[in-house]
Amino acid sequence: MIVVIDYNMGNPGSILNMLRKIGAEAKLSNDRNVILGAGKLVLPGVGSFDTGMKNLAQLGLIPLLNEVVIGKRTPILGICLGMQLLGKSSGEGALPGLGWIDFRNERFTFGENTPGSDTAGGHRGALKIPHMGWNNIIIRRDSALFAGLTEDSRFYFVHSYHAVCEKSENVQAETNYGYDFASIVGQENIYGVQFHPEKSHKFGMRLLKNFAEL
């Protein structure tokens, strides 16, 4: 059973639909016993960093998730804001994150020499924030999560902040938007994707299927 964590952030319905479409048994819940019995977890999320952490805290989910993910080593996949919450902090807010992977979330910053910026004379015009739309991933580490995926695989992004990892080994894939940023992070049983696999058609379906089959 894959449990999608219900903490009142974003719309997890499309994630549940995609998981069921690939044949995975999935359920939306914040019930302690359901989460303790999960084979895998998904932490979704759309919205602000501090609101996400506040909601997790108010529901009593932070110690529970630490028990399940760190103690029991249950695999977890963070999606979009859910990925950002896996890190230590964010420039978007003041609260600490879950701190499972050593990274900080920083807002896109485009300087004069950023390819594609007006001041750099790039042919694409000014890069806008948020980064919104389809983009490729550049695989940096071997992972079962990438089975059947290539650098032609395209995923749908909507975000203004991105992870900056302290350890290069935590960067499993990058994406270029003005510069390369970590679009997939990982450490042991913990994975995070900055894009929305549930909105990424066949490529997102394949990634979720790979996670379900880990």
- List of domains in the chain: 2-212 (3.40.50.880)
Cα 96 to Cα 90, 102, 140: the distances in Å are 8, 12, 27
- Please say if the pLDDT value at position 69 is more than 70: yes
Model pLDDT, residue 79 = 98
pLDDT band at 122; cut points 50, 70, 90: very low
CA 41 to chain centre: 13
Integer Rg of the chain from CA:
17
Say if strands 76-79 and 103-107 run parallel, antiparallel, or are unpaired: unpaired
Q: Is the dihedral of CA 44, 45, 50, 51 positive or negative?
A: negative
Query: Which pLDDT tens digit goes with each residue over 148-196?
Result: 998 789 999 999 999 999 999 999 999 999 999 999 999 999 999 999 9
Model pLDDT, residue 27 = 97
Model pLDDT, residue 205 = 96
Helix (H, G, I), strand (E, B) or coil at 196: strand
Mean pLDDT on 20-26: 95
- Please say if the pLDDT value at position 143 is more than 60: yes
Instruction: Determine contact, residues 172/186, Cβ cutoff 8 Å.
Output: yes
Which pTM value belongs to this model? 0.93
DSSP string covering 126-146: PPPSSEEEEEE-EE-S--GGG
Show which residues are catalytic.
80, 196, 198
Instruction: Determine contact, residues 143/193, Cβ cutoff 8 Å.
Output: no
Average pLDDT, the chain: 93
Percent of the chain clearing pLDDT 90 (strictly above): 88
pLDDT band at 210; cut points 50, 70, 90: very high
Query: Which pLDDT tens digit goes with each residue over 79-108?
Result: 999 999 999 999 999 999 999 999 999 999
Taking alpha carbons only, the member of 189, 170, 104, 183 closest to residue 138 is 183
Taking alpha carbons only, the member of 68, 74, 6 closest to residue 43 is 6
Say if strands 40-43 and 76-79 run parallel, antiparallel, or are unpaired: parallel
pLDDT higher at 118 or 111: 111
pLDDT higher at 107 or 122: 107
Model pLDDT, residue 121 = 34
**Exposed e or buried b for every residue in 100-110, given b needs 16+ CB within 10 A?**
bbebbbbebeb
